[in-house]
Amino acid sequence: MNNTAYLGMDIGSISTKGVVIDQERRILGQDYLWTRANPIAAVKELLASLQSQLDQDINIISVGATGSARKLIGAMTGAQVVKNEITAHAVGTLSRYPQVRTIVEIGGQDSKIILIEDGIVIDYAMNSLCAAGTGAFLSSQAERLGVELEDIGNFALQAENPVKLAARCTVFAESDLIHKAQSGHKKEDLLAGLCAAVVGNYLNNVGKGKKIQPPVFFQGGVSKNIGVTKALEEALGHPVQIDENSHLMGALGAAVLAMDCKEQAGFDFEIARMDFNTKSQECGRCPNNCELVSFYRDGDLLDIWGNRCPKALFERNAEF
């Protein structure tokens, strides 16, 4: 039996995801946990969880990282592949659904749309400043209404007369929700309206001007919300596909990219027990005054980034 495996991680602002796959792209281990503004600690927890799920003879030979903290965690784990979220999500989804034409991804603090033709990404967009089309907005409003985040969908499906909320802006949507709650609308109707507002914001902002063609694959943490899924299907006029691992597609894509990488240097879970820390400072070696981040493992400098010219890198081993 071949014990070769590949690790993929997706480290976002809200959640940290990881998968280990074998050569047939079957998932051997997986986890999804909160980043809590500490990606290093989150990845340590993630690695401990993944290691506990694997047989002792599993040999991870390459690592891929994506997400907003991909550079940091890529340096931490010695990842052979560090890719942006668009590439990772597209690769992960296509590895499971090669016929997909549109990927709708709604996460905790960002969302994106990816358009695919003949297995190639031809266009994409990500949300800008507005958070009304993300999981963070759902979470904050669920707390306001006294509902657990995972229960929103079940409540929304019970709605008889969903309210209509302003969908183009977080502030207006929140104000509208408060007003209608104070007016006596039922919780179920409010939550159904909230799910529809999230979809409306997504389509008006991220999906604006995009030709959304089926098959549509819905992914990200919000894809687990059946209320939002129903609202999305109603808005698009056709069903959307959701995989049981739709929240892990970025990590899966990173793992697939790692598998396809020719550079393979192995991986040791002992990394999770090492001491990592960062130090930030202004370079001061030219008028740019770049804000640098130095990354250390057990006191040894691993990498420096944030520079806009090479001057900072000439003294990598110097203390700033």
Q: Which numeric CATH code is attached to 4-91+251-273?
A: 3.30.420.40
> Across residues 212-226, what is the average pLDDT?
91
> Across residues 295-319, what is the average pLDDT?
76
pLDDT in tens, 116-140: 999 999 999 987 555 555 777 787 7
Q: Under a CB-based contact definition with an 8 Å cutoff, are residues 167 and 204 in contact?
A: yes
Instruction: Examine the pLDDT at 314 and tell me if it is beyond 80.
Output: no
Give the mean pLDDT of the chain.
88
CATH T-level assignment (fold) for domain 99-242: Nucleotidyltransferase; domain 5 (3.30.420)
Domain boundaries, the chain: 4-91+251-273, 99-242, 276-315
> Across residues 242-252, what is the average pLDDT?
93
* pLDDT value of residue 130: 57
279-285 own/partner pairs: CB under 8 Å, 24+ apart? 279/320, 280/306, 281/320, 283/307, 283/311, 283/312, 283/320, 285/311, 285/312
Contacts of 25 (CB under 8 A, 6+ apart): 95, 252, 255, 256, 259
- Intrachain domains 4-91+251-273 and 99-242 with the same fold: yes
* pLDDT value of residue 241: 95
- How far apart are alpha carbons 20 and 17 in whole angstroms? 11
- How far apart are alpha carbons 283 and 292 in whole angstroms? 6
Higher pLDDT pick, 82 / 288: 82
Higher pLDDT pick, 252 / 160: 252
The 3-state secondary structure of 180-244, one letter per residue: HHHCCCCHHHHHHHHHHHHHHHHHHHCCCCCCCCCCEEEECHHHHCHHHHHHHHHHHCCCCECCC
Q: Which of 47-51, 255-259, 291-295 has the lowest mean pLDDT?
A: 291-295
* pLDDT value of residue 133: 59
pLDDT band, very low/low/confident/very high, at 40 (cuts 50, 70, 90): very high
Question: Whole-model pTM?
Answer: 0.86
DSSP string, 116-163: EETTEEEEEEE--S--TTSHHHHHHHHHHTT--GGGHHHHHHT-SSPP
> Across residues 69-87, what is the average pLDDT?
94
Higher pLDDT pick, 247 / 108: 247
pLDDT in tens, 266-280: 799 999 999 999 988
Instruction: Examine the pLDDT at 318 and tell me if it is beyond 60.
Output: no
